[in-house]
Structures are given as structure tokens and as C-alpha cells.
Chains A and B, each alone.
Chain A
């Protein structure tokens, strides 16, 4: 059920706003934005709230068509909308995009005029093609044809553990012809085995099977060696520990083209949450220790980390309302990411870097149009955030019929007031 009022307008006039100018928030008594879809002019008093470029989401899975019982494109676009996003990199674990027909079907669904709420063509959705057929390790996907479509940002693994080293070599060797970046979630399958949480003091005392840091670093090292050998650009999704960031730093010194992101929840939480035994904290890759969390923040601060990703993974209630180890991992993030992290992020790295991490860098990484045009110094799509208005997260905040998030019931420090994306104005 839609909880907000939206309209196509021509001109938006914001009063008493702090508007992002590319370097800082500038106090403006009145500022107008023209996007030109509708006819009306809308006025909104921001009461000192921040007006910033809309976000771009990495790590987004809307599950449709194979798991449309869980989540749909309509749900996902609604989530982007509520969270102040203007686009996303779509990568489905359930639906590998391994040929042009599947890509066409996905693009049609995202931009279908039949979509509820006038979402068609509102968001800039890029896709991650699969480098193998069905996220397997036997056959290559038709990467050349997929790469001809500009909506394909690169090739990825759908969050699967990295298959055989030989297959990765062949996939990257072939995929190199496309000039696209390869995206990996570094995880050594055999070291992970049945692990479901970070291998550390808490997993030891709770008797839960852990995933060691070396499951990530060994896989990352393999990918970096392959990238060095084949001269193919790579990206690490949802890095969870400082050791992997060290590998990234060293690789860059050697001239390897490697980028990386860190997941929202990996910055917000550490594995002490496991003591609650609450399956809401069942997230993969796993939430690691407080020291790891701090290492990720260091990577954010020193520029090693390129972007913050969402890892937006819907899970049915019946699959989360079980004991931790039997639950399906995953958490929703799009709707609550900005109000959850803005205050801490901007306090630690400054507002400019915070906007870069959430909006500009992720869009740039996948070749999407940024919500902030660096040439004109103007914002194309905006989100309005009151950083000091607390918001208690409830089920109705989430699109669709799922609400799996460890922040459910928690109070966030900030609130999103409104968005203006592709000419559509929405008060939330």
C-alpha cells in the first residue's frame, strides 16, 4: 500500500533549505529546481533540512520473476523511491542475466508502463550481467552481446562463492574483450563451508559455525592475482574486514584496477549482535567484529573504499521467523539507509565524502548519470533529509510484504522528508 503523496510537477520551490553546492550545504531562503515533467509548481518549506543529491544503490535484488512470491520490481522501485534513490545496480541472485533475452525481459519489467505508481523510466537501473550461465562454473555467459547494451555495467557472480580458479580465468579472459568490470563477493567456498556468522569470540561461545576472514582474503587474493595477470578491472562487493582492504591498497600500488564497496550494515553493526540470537542479524557476508567494523571505517576515511552498498535482500517472514542458523540470510536496506547512516558518516568523513560514497561514486562506478552534475554544479535528482528528526523504523516503512531488517523497531537519528526524482515530487 502506498503511504505517500506524489505528483508530476514542473517546478519545485524549496524554502529555508540547506542545499548541497558540491562542497558544502548552503543555506538558502528559496531555491527552485526545474525538471519539467508536469505543469504545476510545488512549494515546500524545508525548515533547515538538507537538500542533497539522490542516492545510487549498489547490491540490489528484487527477486522477480523467479521469486516474485518474495519481492517484485514494483516493490523494489518503491523501496528506491522511499529511500531517496535515483538509480541502482541490479543484480539478482535468483535470476542470473546470462543472455540478451533475459536482459531484455529485465529491462522491460523495470520500465514497464504497467508498473504501479508511474515508476516506468523514473530510475536509472543498471544491470550486472552474469559471467557464467546460471551462476555456474561450466559455461560462459554471452558477455559480448550483453555488453553491447549500455545498461550492463559489468559482470558478476550473484553473490555466489567464487567457482574454480580456472573458470574465473576463462571468464575474465573472455570478458576482457567487453572492457567491463568484474564484480566479485570474495568468499572461498570450502573455507566457508556451513559457516553462517563471523568466526570469532561470539561464534565460539555460541557454538555457531563461523566464516573466517581468510575465506574472504584468500578469494580476494585470487581475484587480484587474476586481475593483475589478465589486466581486467575488478570490484569487490561488501568487503567485511581490514585485511581485504589491505590487499586492495597493495594491489592499487601495483597498478591493478580494483574498486570496492562496504555494506551498510557492516558499518553499522558488529558481531556482538549475535548474542541476541536474533535471525534479523543473519546477513551474508557476515557482520564481523568491532575491530573489523573500525577497519572498514578507516577504509572509508582514507579513500580505500569507493562506495557504500546496500545489499538489499528481501526475505519472507516465514524464513526469518526461525532460529538463526535455519533462517535465510539477508536484510532490506534501501528505505532506511540514508537516515540510518548519514549522521555518523558525515561526522566521520565530512559531508562531501558522505555524498560521494552514497550517491556520486556508486553511480560513476557503473556508468550511471550522477544525481549531481559536476560540470554545472547542479542537482538533477534530490532527496531532502532532516538529520535531526528521529525516525522509528516500522514494518510500514518497507515496500512489499517483507520487512526483514535488524533495524526494525529501532530509532534512526534522521528522517527523509521528501524526494524529487525524474520530475516526480513525493512527500514522505
Chain B
């Protein structure tokens, strides 16, 4: 039995505050374990986790793999570049073949929105979304929330500014749902070609009053408790969504001057990898407000908590 109301982690839309609370509280305990000399616990011993990555990933896959190994699970990596998918196998057939090998948990990344949910409908395994298209990346948001709580104590009443390519960002979408559920106010900021086009978004009743838009980065970060800069992909220039990296940096990059509009103890986050000198100036990426490396550590703890709780763990059994 899962210790959570959810059986799989597809995204953070619709996930209850109590489930997010449980994950974050467990992650804090795993975070402590990661500081010990022996970082391994036997929570998932005997269980097999498949990392099913149809898109390239280094950080997220490594983080999941490390989390699985820290929980003593058997881990298998499956990447589409060297798999039967290249030979035309369908998604369902790939999953069924892997499932026939008696696996328990599938961590999946895919370019298509909804693939984790689709796989859950065709499988008995527990499914964890490691990023589906531009839809959601829930564990990234959970580690962002863990980092905010670790540094600022709580998300309740905090102002979080997310700056950059919101339209193509699964991280932004998960943070919109997750952080507003936990009581934060989220301000989205980016060039008008890189933010969702429809202010109808605010018609989602769950988001009413909790999300706002800005095209002026100074206003977006004004009095912010946390600023998340998103990675700008160079392909956006080829698609005529932006004129140049230079102009982007000048109008939407997070600089010392921009950050001075935020609260004194603002924390600066980034999902990585960073384009230094584009979305973040190098000196502030390594500066006193930056918590980017804490995010990476928290990523392992959060993923341990998610896997442990979905697999049916109890909070204090192994911690």
C-alpha cells in the first residue's frame, strides 16, 4: 500500500497538499541520510526499477539511478538510442516486454505529453514521470520546493518568480501546480513568444489569485523570495522565437541588478544545465544567493522519497 493518495507520479496537477507534504518530509529525512558516511538504506531491496528514457538525459537519469541505488533497488537503464525503439517497436510493446521481465517501477522520460499516464494504463508497474514533453517534470518541482523549504522554512506565502522559456518548460508547469498547492504565489516572466499565449490559463480555478504574468523581469522579481531561471535552448533562435541570446540576456537574464529588486535573502535556483551569461550571469550563478548545487543534492533525496513512498514505504521504517 502506498503511503500516498497517488499510485503513480504523473505530475503535480491534482496532487494533494498532504501528499506533497509527505514527500517533502520524507525527502528531508533522506537528505539527512545522504550526509551520513553510509548513504544506503535497504528500503527497495528486491525491487527492480527501470529507467526508461526516450529522451537524452544525464542529470535526471543519474539522479534517479543514484536514488534507486541508495534505496538498494536493482536498476536497469533503457535508452531509446540503443534500443528496439529504433527498430520500430511501439511504446506499449516496449513497456510490455520490459514488464515481462518482472519489474516493479518504471521511471520514464519521453517527448510526448501524457506518456507516463498512458504507460500506467497498459502496465501494472508503478510509473514515475521524469519529464513528459513540455507537460510536467514533477520531481524537479519537488526538489525545488524542498530547496525553498530548506532555505526559507516554508513555501506558504512566499513569492516565487520563474523567468525564461515558460512555454516549453515542464519544470515551470510542475512548479505552477506544486508551489501554488503549497501556498506560494508564482509570477511567470519571459518574452511574449516564450510564455503560454492564453491568459485563459488563469481560468483554472485552482490557480485563481496564485499565478500572475509579467514581461518586465524587474517587476517579476520585485520582492521575490525565490527566483528560478529556466534554461534557454539555442533552438529557440532558429525557430524565430527570439532574435538573439544577447537581447535575451539584456532583457530577461538574471543579473546582479535584477536580483537586487528581490528580497535581501532571495534564493536563486536553476534546473540546469546553465547557459552562463544568458539566463544567469556567471557571478550570481556562483554567488551568495545561488542554491543550485543544493538543488542537485535535494534531487536525489526527493527521488528517494518518491520511489520509497510509491513503493509502499512508511515514513520512519528505514530512515
Contacts and interface: CB of A to CB of B under 8 A. Distances in A.
B109 interface: no
Interface stretch (B113-121, B262-270, B276-284, B288-296): B113-121
B157 interface: no
Nearest to A197: B113
Interface stretch (A141-149, A170-178, A321-329, A343-351): A321-329
Given A322-B91, A323-B112, A324-B112, A207 B133 contact: yes
Interface stretch (A198-206, A218-226, A397-405): A198-206
Contact of B135 (A207, A322, A326): A207
B198 A326 contact: no
A277 interface: yes
Interface in A278-321: 279, 289, 318, 321
A208 interface: yes
B114 A206 contact: yes
Given A205-B173, A207-B133, A323-B118, A277 B113 contact: yes
Given A205-B201, A208-B133, A318 B117 contact: no
A206 B113 contact: yes
Given A206-B113, A323-B91, A323-B113, A201 B203 contact: yes
A277 B136 CA distance: 13
B147 to A, nearest CB: 23
Interface string B95-134: 0000000000000001111110110001000000000011
Given A199-B197, A200-B198, A206-B113, A277 B118 contact: yes
B114 to A, nearest CB: 3
Looking at A206, A207, A212, A326, the one whose CB has the most chain B CB atoms below 10 A away is: A207
Contacts of B170: 207
B92 A321 contact: yes
A204 B211 CA distance: 14
Contact of A277 (B117, B200, B201): B117
A208 B135 contact: yes
Given A205-B13, A318-B90, A324 B113 contact: yes
A207 B197 CA distance: 11
A289 B112 CA distance: 22
Q: Is the interface of B mostly helix, strand, loop or mixed?
A: loop
Contacts of A208: 113, 133-135
Contact of B198 (A201, A321, A322): A201
Contacts of B113: 206-208, 277, 323-325
Given A205-B204, A207-B134, A208-B135, A323 B198 contact: no
A210 B176 CA distance: 20
Interface string B136-149: 10000000000000
Interface in B11-25: 13
B196 interface: yes
Contacts of A206: 113-114, 135
Nearest to B114: A277
Interface residues of A, number: 21
Contacts of A322: 90-92, 118
A325 B133 contact: yes
Nearest to A193: B239
A199 B198 contact: yes
Contacts of A318: 90
B114 A201 contact: no
Contact of B110 (A210, A212, A321, A323): A323
Looking at B90, B118, B167, B168, the one whose CB has the most chain A CB atoms below 10 A away is: B118
Nearest to A200: B198
A294 B118 CA distance: 30
Nearest to A204: B196
Contacts of B111: 325
B197 A204 contact: yes
A204 B114 contact: no
Nearest to A201: B200
A158 B201 CA distance: 34
B227 to A, nearest CB: 22
Nearest to A291: B200
A321 B118 CA distance: 9
Contacts of B92: 321-322
Contacts of B112: 323-326
Interface in A59-91: none
Interface string A24-36: 0000000000000
A203 B111 CA distance: 15
Interface string B142-175: 0000000000000000000000000110100100
B118 A204 contact: no
A249 to B, nearest CB: 25
Given A323-B91, A323-B110, A204 B198 contact: yes
A175 B91 CA distance: 46
Contacts of B110: 323
A324 B133 CA distance: 11
B201 A324 contact: no
B178 to A, nearest CB: 13
A206 B117 CA distance: 13
Looking at B92, B136, B197, B204, the one whose CB has the most chain A CB atoms below 10 A away is: B197
Interface string A378-393: 0000000000000000
A147 B198 CA distance: 45
Given A207-B133, A208-B134, A325-B111, 9 more contacts: A201-B203, A204-B200, A204-B201, A205-B173, A207-B113, A208-B135, A277-B113, A321-B92, A326-B91
Sorted from nearest, which 5 A-B pairs have the closest CB atoms?
Answer: A207-B134, A277-B114, A204-B196, A201-B200, A323-B112
30 contacts: A199-B197, A200-B198, A201-B203, A203-B198, A204-B196, A204-B197, A205-B173, A205-B176, A205-B196, A205-B201, A205-B204, A206-B113, A206-B114, A206-B135, A207-B113, A207-B134, A207-B136, A208-B133, A208-B134, A208-B135, A277-B118, A279-B118, A289-B200, A321-B92, A322-B91, A323-B113, A324-B113, A325-B112, A325-B113, A326-B112
Interface of A: 199-201, 203-208, 210, 212, 277, 279, 289, 318, 321-326
